[in-house]
Structure 1
Amino acid sequence: MADLQDEPPSVGIGAPDLQAPAGPETTASALERAAALLSVHPVADGCNTLVWTLRQSPYHDIETPDAGVDTDIPRLRAGGVGAQFWSLLVPPGARPPEDGAAGDRVVCDTLEQIDAALTLVRRYPESLRLALSADDMADARNRGRIASFLGPVPGRALTGSLGALRAFHALGVRALAPAGAPWAQEALTAFGHEVVQEANRLAILLDLAGCEPAVARQLAGASKAPVIISNTAAAALNPHPHNVCDEVLALLRETNGLAMVTFDTARTGDSLHAVADHLDHVRAVAGPEGVGLGAAFGTEPPGHRPTGLTDPSGYPRLIAELLDRGWPESDLALLTWGNAQRVIRDAEFTARRRPSPAGV
């Protein structure tokens, strides 16, 4: 039975913009139904890269809409976003290693990303609230704030140390991305198994975005808690190297994991309808409890966003499209909020069953 804190408030974090132009196949009534649903079951978005963008423009005010950045508080609220994972990954090639010190650089970058994310949350206390747990997620929503989770951090930043993982957890990190780490490349190493066990003990979600299918299968099999893929799409519809294959989607269904669909034209196609096709497919293979949203907004503006989904304010139009396709509201409530909260809470339940190692 869900905790009382999980019960939705009568009023959500902000009504989506009903004046958004409806497409030829999206009726006004569908937008109204989408708005009503999002006011109770807001979007829990699994990926936003705004932290890196703000590091390049540290004085940018996200309370004021700016065409130069696709994410700000007004558009998050217009889109009905109630929880957000702020990615702490550094874009590939953004910081070339200096003098061969790649390990030191990734650790420093990760710490700077964490600092920037915490600064972001502290700067907007009336809109953002740091979340460390599923209870925090519900509490933030009930107080009209956007629950802000930190993560993922890159698995490479552990540099062979479980102590580093514990330190990141103490700083508020709640997700880890193994892709690219030496312990999770062609196969999961002995240290990789230790990382999985420690992540389970700390209730840190394992984010398999970018992992090779064989490694993703190993990670999902080794983890006692559900795993997520924070921004992906269906490889069966588009064979992009970072899209997820049906075999892994089926494994997520078996292990209660979650695949969160991105809004990236290279991976989904160039329209809202194409994104909806990917959501249909992931739901069919991973199940209604295995599909979520991980748009990967937060970048410099458009060019690689599907029409109708160029920023977070487009969420109501996407939900309206899914309503028109016959998705029941119960499945949409899982898509937007329920599945994300469930995997976080399941990770916490797993952590309570994991004993602490000696000396920790």
Structure 2
Amino acid sequence: MSRLLLTTTLLAAIASQVACDRGSSTLAPDSSEAPRAAPAADYHARADALAHRFVILDGHVDVPIRVAGAVYEGLAAPPVHDHTDDGDFDYARARAGGLDAPFMSIYTPSEFQDEPGKSKAFADQNIDFVVALATDHPDKFALAVTPEQVRSNFARGLISLPMGMENGSPIEGDLANLRHFHERGIRYITLTHGKDNHICDSSYDDAHTHAGLSSFGREVVAEMNRLGIMIDVSHVSDDSFWQIMELSAVPAIASHSSCRHFTPGFERNMSDEMIVALAERGGVIQINFGSGFLDAAYREAEEAGRAELDALLVEHGTDWQAPEGKQLIAQYRAEHPLPRVGVAVVADHIDHVVSVAGIDHVGLGSDFDGVGDSLPDGLKDVSMYPNLIAELLARGYTDADIEKICSGNVLRVWQAVEDHAE
């Protein structure tokens, strides 16, 4: 990774990406309720203890692409093995927050899929970075390709680095590449990203190229089931989702999605019907922490601001990446602050999943390092999981509930996929 030279197209893609469950008595709150008071201090003490007692698995952390972006800009790679003020993840903060198994996102920009070989090579380079992180710092990190390895690493005091591939474009139309990435440690694949690809349609693309899955995409679903790779339905179109539900022989995950109930019309999030269908097949939705995924007012203000910024940059003959453009953006944002979103809103999404699907079907998928400065107050980086746990405790969630949300539900799905493959 340290030798990687990214193209200007990738930086634009990064900028776009950054810009852009309990079967008991817990009920989803009314969105019209006044903001809740912060949980009492005793909840925080208990939450911190639970955060270090239970495995915390986060379905989506974008550390590899953050490092790649730094290298492009000529900066030293952030020392995620130690402590850094850059980004949302490093070892010290992960330890403080009790994070034990962040799925490292092996992200590939959609623009790469038009050039044969580029997506696969880029994915391999990002996997190399994760492997080196574990190999070079064996006292801190370890790779994990099974739930049992996650638990074993936890017992040894190590942070596991499982890997999920965000965007299936590196498969490049060849099931042999799917087997290659399984051998390299990929244990879930988000089938597409910002555009339709050769596997399926994207929730962000209006082209509806395949009206869901392509014929090759159907082969990919079957082969992922056979190999033991979890299918991730985040980013896929609704048509793609329903076809995956019909075809997959094992449960699926949404590694970093939230509830469309709170963001009407935002297809990237999941509707209640989709959450129920995912749960009926044993799957889990892992809640995204980005404020645009959580709150409609924030999302509307963000989109309006982006349109105004586009016009402002054109007026001044600059762009999002130029120094002058960045200065204009900073000034605009200081003068037009976005609505504040807090940790309680993440808990609202968890409550909602629980109310429609049950406690066994919700988890955490922060999108740390992938949603820029849109993270909620109280969940700004990987040191802050106890704040969310405290909020859940204040709402009446039990220790057993917390363990399921932190990791138990996703580890169950992962094990079911492994068992089916065997």
TM range (shorter): 0.7 to 0.9
**Cα displacement string for residues 158-188 of structure 1 (whole angstroms, at most 9, x for unaligned residues):** 1211100001111111111112332322222
Of 142, 165, 172, which aligns to 1:159? 172
Matching of residue 33 in structure 1 with residue 46 in structure 2:
yes
Name 2:206's counterpart in structure 1: none
Question: In 1, Cα distance between the equivalents of 2:293 and 2:197?
Answer: 23
**Cα displacement string for residues 249-308 of structure 1 (whole angstroms, at most 9, x for unaligned residues):** 0011100001000110111132111111111111222321110000011359x5211011
Name 1:14's counterpart in structure 2: none
Name 2:284's counterpart in structure 1: 258
Classify the secondary structure of the residue corresponding to 2:277: helix
Counterpart mapping for 1:1-360 below 5 A: 24-57=37-70, 59-91=77-109, 96-97=111-112, 101-179=114-192, 180-185=196-201, 186-239=211-264, 240-269=266-295, 270-299=341-370, 303-352=373-422
Classify the secondary structure of the residue corresponding to 2:59: strand
Query: Is the CA contact (8 Å cut-off) linking 2:78 and 2:86 kept in structure 1?
Result: no
Amino acid at match of 1:181: N
Structure 1 residues not aligned, in runs of 5+: 1-22, 353-360
Classify the secondary structure of the residue corresponding to 2:117: helix
Classify the secondary structure of the residue corresponding to 2:142: strand
Question: In 2, Cα distance between the equivalents of 1:193 and 1:291?
Answer: 26
Cα RMSD of the aligned pairs, angstroms, is 1.8
**Cα displacement string for residues 191-219 of structure 1 (whole angstroms, at most 9, x for unaligned residues):** 22221111111110111111112211111
Question: In 1, Cα distance between the equivalents of 2:93 and 2:245?
Answer: 34
Distance 1:285 1:102, change over 3 A: farther
Amino acid at match of 2:64: V
Query: Is the CA contact (8 Å cut-off) linking 1:45 and 1:85 kept in structure 2?
Result: yes
Distance 1:115 1:31, change over 3 A: same
Question: In 2, Cα distance between the equivalents of 1:66 and 1:147?
Answer: 19
Question: In 1, Cα distance between the equivalents of 2:127 and 2:97?
Answer: 25
Amino acid at match of 1:210: H
Structure 2 residues not aligned, in runs of 5+: 1-35, 72-76, 202-210, 296-340
Shift of 1:101: 4.5
With 220-229 and 23-32 compared, the bigger mean Cα shift is at 23-32
Question: In 1, Cα distance between the equivalents of 2:84 and 2:138?
Answer: 20
Classify the secondary structure of the residue corresponding to 2:235: coil
Classify the secondary structure of the residue corresponding to 1:191: helix
Amino acid at match of 2:46: R
Query: Is the CA contact (8 Å cut-off) linking 1:48 and 1:297 kept in structure 2?
Result: yes
Amino acid at match of 2:197: A
Question: In 2, Cα distance between the equivalents of 1:103 and 1:324?
Answer: 52
Query: Is the CA contact (8 Å cut-off) linking 2:59 and 2:102 kept in structure 1?
Result: yes
Distance 1:192 1:295, change over 3 A: same
Distance 1:299 1:187, change over 3 A: closer
Shift of 1:147: 1.4
Query: Is the CA contact (8 Å cut-off) linking 2:212 and 2:238 kept in structure 1?
Result: no
Query: Is the CA contact (8 Å cut-off) linking 1:153 and 1:173 kept in structure 2?
Result: no
**Structure 1 or 2: larger helix share?**
2
Name 1:5's counterpart in structure 2: none
Amino acid at match of 2:150: M
Question: In 1, Cα distance between the equivalents of 2:236 and 2:61?
Answer: 19
Question: In 2, Cα distance between the equivalents of 1:189 and 1:73?
Answer: 40
Query: Is the CA contact (8 Å cut-off) linking 1:226 and 1:255 kept in structure 2?
Result: yes
Name 1:9's counterpart in structure 2: none
Amino acid at match of 1:184: C
Shift of 1:66: 2.3
Identity %: 31
Question: In 2, Cα distance between the equivalents of 1:24 and 1:213?
Answer: 36
Amino acid at match of 1:287: G
Classify the secondary structure of the residue corresponding to 2:363: strand
User: Number of residue pairs matched?
Assistant: 324
Question: In 2, Cα distance between the equivalents of 1:80 and 1:91?
Answer: 30
Name 1:8's counterpart in structure 2: none
Amino acid at match of 1:182: H
User: TM-score under structure 2 normalisation?
Assistant: 0.73
Amino acid at match of 1:209: S
